[in-house]
Amino acid sequence: MQTELLKVTGMTCGGCTSNVTHALKAIPGVGEVKVSLSAGEATVQYDERLTSTDQLKSAVKGAGYGVDTTNTAQKPQGKGGCCS
């Protein structure tokens, strides 16, 4: 199993997180899905033999949300200016 962290854009409420969760869980090979509205992220465990990150991103987009494809893992997300 692989784990992918997707930055999801356009979520504004709990219903949005539910929509993203259901869209991702509908993909064959997807196991656990955790969606955080406050972080704007979805953490997905999936079987790389059955699906791919492109399919995960397509499912999020198909549900009406965006996926930020910039590499945020290596860039600090400044919150309050405390990160340099």
User: Residue 79 contacts by C-beta under 8 Å, 6 or more apart in sequence?
Assistant: none
Helix (H, G, I), strand (E, B) or coil at 42: strand
DSSP state letters, the chain: -EEEEEEEES--SHHHHHHHHHHHHTSTTEEEEEEETTTTEEEEEE-TTT--HHHHHHHHHHTT-EEE-S-GGGS---STT---
As a CATH number, domain 2-70 is 3.30.70.100
Q: Is the pLDDT of residue 82 over 70?
A: no
Query: If you average pLDDT over residues 28-41, what whole number do you get?
Result: 96
Which pLDDT belongs to residue 70?
77
Which tokens go with 42? 């979805």
Q: Tell me, what's the pLDDT at 69?
A: 82
pTM, rounded to two decimals: 0.80
pLDDT in tens, 6-20: 999 999 999 999 999
pLDDT of residue 32 exceeding 70: yes
